[in-house]
Amino acid sequence: MTENPNGLKSILFVHGNNDLYGAEVVLLQLLRRLDRSRFCPIVVLPTDTKHIHRLSACLDQEGIEYHYVRMGILRRKYFHAMGLVRFWIDFVFGIVSLVAFIRQRRVALVHSNTIAVLCGAFAATITRTPHVWHVHEIIVDPVILRRFLHFLACHLSRAVVTLSGAVRNHVLKDCAGHSNKIHIIHDGIEMERFATSGHGEEVRGNYGIPSEALLVGMVGRVCRWKGQFLFLQAAKLVLERRPGTYFLAVGGVFDDETFYLDQFHEAVENSGLRQNFVISDFRADIPDVLSALDIFVLPSTQPEPFGMVILEAMAAGKPVVAAAHGGPVEIVADNQTGYLVPPKDAQALASAIMRLAERPSLMAAMGAAGRHRAWEHFHVDRYVADFEYLYTELLSGEVGSPGATNTPSRSHRVQTVLRS
């Protein structure tokens, strides 16, 4: 029996963090809008990020049921001898706990959110519960880990959902025989939330940025590949030609990666740009931050799996300059809603910023085109509808089960629309 006492299909969402960045935001949006006349969402979070209390605080506000479970989540902090021992203990403990939970709550389907979350897939396999693995990552190295995780995703899931064609192609490099199992569902956002924000002046005031100054900004966790240091290099080049330009980098770090933020602060101090380059820790009011900007950049040095913050900037009517690899290639219409520039090229990034800065009318036109594109292709309602359609197919046995025909779902067809 897979229905709870109210006759609804219970879906167990297993997630690996209690923060509020891209993977958490899109999960929260799905949970908020899931059809409660058909589905009952239950969320499981790990105990080792319980203290952050960002996603869980939102779940409290929405009245969405969640539980903390001790379970092994793949994190870089475990990549040493003692860390691996702890991971395997937590991993086994997590599987046992989830198996009991699935059986007790008559869970109909398990949804693992991000490829770092392993316990849900194994628990679903043991209990013979349909499993969806939502892959948010492009893993570059180590290669052996990448191949192992892709193997697990394809063999322990009825369906694998990737948030972009770039991620799907990356998985297929290791699992070419599973193309029918891998669905693309692009992230969607609440367009109205970003289109109506009008508190940009308050954000500028917080950092002492003049209201009339050109402000270029990026939003993203500070880590080794998001491109904050490249952004700083580009800022130095822009300031040589436009001394009155300001730059804002918003984003925090993982608990065990505070050194990245320390290094970033040190680099700004040593660059001599401290008066014009502002670093801010995590902020929850991203619509207000984007409202304050004139130009948004995402200079990731490794392929971005998707780049949801680009959608947010487009919904806010801002022109976007992004590195031309990974998911941003599917979001940004080059020369229409912004510019795609060669990865790791500070000069190209600076040149694109300057092209926009010198033509305010172009900034406005690209911002308007970006907003239109975001509304047309990336609204949250489409995102939720695609997942509900896939869940329905899986629960009816039309996709992924032995003997099923695996006919393409509507989530496959999203990529065709975006080519236009």
Higher pLDDT: 419 or 219? It is: 219
pLDDT at 82: 84
pLDDT above 70 for 327:
yes
The mean per-residue pLDDT over the stretch 196-220 comes to 92
Whether 79 has a pLDDT exceeding 90, the answer reads no
Residue 122 has pLDDT above 80, yes or no: yes
Domains and CATH numbers, the chain: 9-188+380-418 (3.40.50.2000), 191-377 (3.40.50.2000)
DSSP 151-198: HHHHHS-SEEEESSHHHHHHHHTT-GGGGGGEEE----B-HHHHHS--
Q: Band the pLDDT of 4: cuts 50, 70, 90.
A: low
In this structure, what token pair is assigned to residue 265? 């602060």
- Say what the pLDDT of residue 405 is: 41
Query: Hey, what are 187's tokens?
Result: 């992230």
Give the pair of three-digit tokens for residue 293: 């900007």
Residue 418: pLDDT over 70:
no
| pLDDT score for 257 | 83
Which has more pLDDT, 406 or 320?
320
Q: What average pLDDT is seen over the chain?
A: 92
Tokens, residue 84: 């691996």
Spell 241-272 as b/e; 16+ CB within 10 A means b: ebeebbbbbbbbbbeebeebbeebeebbeebe
State the CB neighbour count (10 A cutoff) for residue 345: 17
Residue 27 pLDDT > 50: yes
